[in-house]
Amino acid sequence: MNFQDRKEATAPSLVANLAADYAGRVVGLTILFHPDTRRIGHYCEWPLTGRAVTESIGRYHPLFESNRHESASESLAEPHISREALSFEYRDHRVVLEKIPGACPCAVQGRELSGRLQLEPTQLDRGVTLQLGHAVVLYLRIGPPRGAIADGPEADFGLLGGSAAMARLRQQVARAGATDLDVLVLGETGVGKELTAAGIHRASARAGAPLVTINMAAVPTQLAPALLFGSARGAYTGAARATPGYFQQAAGGTLFLDEVGATPAEIQPQMLRALQQREIQVVGGALEAVDVRIVAATDAELSGDGCDFNAALRHRLGSIEIQVPALREHAEDVGELLLHFITGEAASMGCAHLLPGVGRDELLIAQWAEVFQLFARYAWPGNIRELGNAARQVLVASEYGLCVPANLLARLNQAESGEGASREPSRRPATAVDLETFRAAYIDSGCEVAATARVLGMSRPAVYRRLDEMPDLRLAADVPRAEVEAALKTAGGDVRRAARELVVSYQGLKARLRLAGGEE
């Protein structure tokens, strides 16, 4: 490219056109539920060009296409929907929906529509459910256009959903995988950060080598150096053999540091050296070079006031940063996700006969349509993990017929998507939690520091400080060796039972035994 070409390629008009392309928005309709479950996730889009958009929604219009474009565009083709059920008009950033006189029953956000309804910009940005008849639920939203999912079993990296948000995420995963840079995956709890990390590994040149995962929140501070970097024979009492750490186990591959925000402060300088130099200090041994790529993930804030995370380490981890979207940001994918969970679990729970499908009883189809729209309207503060758990609760309760447990139904009804959604609790000092409340939360959380911090809304360092103040509570690394051996003997070698007897973390005790050459 010569100088003139470069000059023209960066001309303000061209840059402005590029910006306009990225800013493009569409009115999108996604099929959340359909008796033919193969149609769930299919969509149609109407580009916003500055002019009014006028359409009708019914049995034969509009045409919906699949994300993979494996079949021709199809109408809803559901016989219980009127040929024209709703009129749709977009003008001045608002949508007016009107039920056609004499048409099948229609509902918006679960409320029956009998005349005209105007939807405001905030509602359209968030998305609303539209039910046509008893059998079809759509999701209406204004946002960026979605892209097609590439063909092939590994093309989606296990990251389900055809929304624009998920298309962007898959694109970022593919691009990150094509490099050998370290990656920091950010996102709320339950959004799929581990799946994202696995996708980066599969998309990389290291895919044939190990992907080793370690939850940093479960690593006891005293054992962290040996667990991460390995230990030489005789490095400490009971070390009868050299033990490789997680860095060595991931040689040639990828090391996934989950909940990296919980990395003990004492080990962070060594982690920084490992990332910068690709060199680790084996406990009781020599420096050792390692060939490993780091992918880290966290739902915690790693910078800012009150954060004790090493700033240099945070920047080194984030050579590439990927933000995994919260489920409320791509609620149009709820239908696909819910279908995935119920079809995957139904057979093992003995309720496959209750799954929706063509030819099923109309009452069952109507019940499933209601369940799908309830799920789509909820904010899911626990994201995809919470949705999966809720799907299993429905199946467990559906012994004799489709049933949503009363406690789950109350939760789904208490807040519609984006309204009243709970957020991560604000951090509070340890002194704001009395001793008995702390003790109960710690034990109920399995003596896990990270889980206790989440339950009480405290930082992890605050939990450690409170533990130091309570002599009757301790970490697995602090229990005398003889006491550990006695507990294991009493428990018949069952590490989980021994941890309960000692009132310590199972993961912490397991890590301690691993270093001593005991149970893996």
How do residues 450-470 score in pLDDT, each as one tens digit? 778 877 877 777 788 788 888
Residue 14: the pLDDT is: 31
Residue 124: the pLDDT is: 94
Tell me the whole-structure pTM to 2 decimals. Answer: 0.78
- Residues 473-510 pLDDT 10s: 888 888 888 899 899 989 888 888 888 889 988 888 88
Mean pLDDT across the chain: 86
The C-alpha atoms of residue 193 and residue 183 are separated, in whole angstroms, by 12
pLDDT at 71 exceeding the cut of 80: no
Residue 305: the pLDDT is: 63
Q: Mean per-residue pLDDT for 257-283?
A: 91
The C-alpha atoms of residue 339 and residue 459 are separated, in whole angstroms, by 36
Q: Mean per-residue pLDDT for 135-146?
A: 94
Query: In this structure, what DSSP letter does residue 250 have?
Result: T
The C-alpha atoms of residue 81 and residue 132 are separated, in whole angstroms, by 6
Reading the block at residue 266, the tokens are 């004492």
Residue 240: the pLDDT is: 65
pLDDT-derived band of residue 336, with 50, 70 and 90 as boundaries?
A: very high
Using a CB cutoff of 8 Å and minimum separation of 24, what contacts does 105-113 make?
Answer: 105/131, 105/133, 105/134, 106/130, 106/131, 106/132, 106/133, 107/131, 109/377, 109/416, 110/373, 110/374, 110/377, 113/86
Q: Which residue has the higher pLDDT, 369 or 412?
A: 369
Residue 479: the pLDDT is: 87
- From 484, 482, 519, 517, select the one nearest 240 (Cα to Cα): 517
Query: In this structure, what DSSP letter does residue 74 have?
Result: B
Query: In this structure, what DSSP letter does residue 264 have?
Result: -
- Residues 88-104 pLDDT 10s: 999 988 999 999 999 99
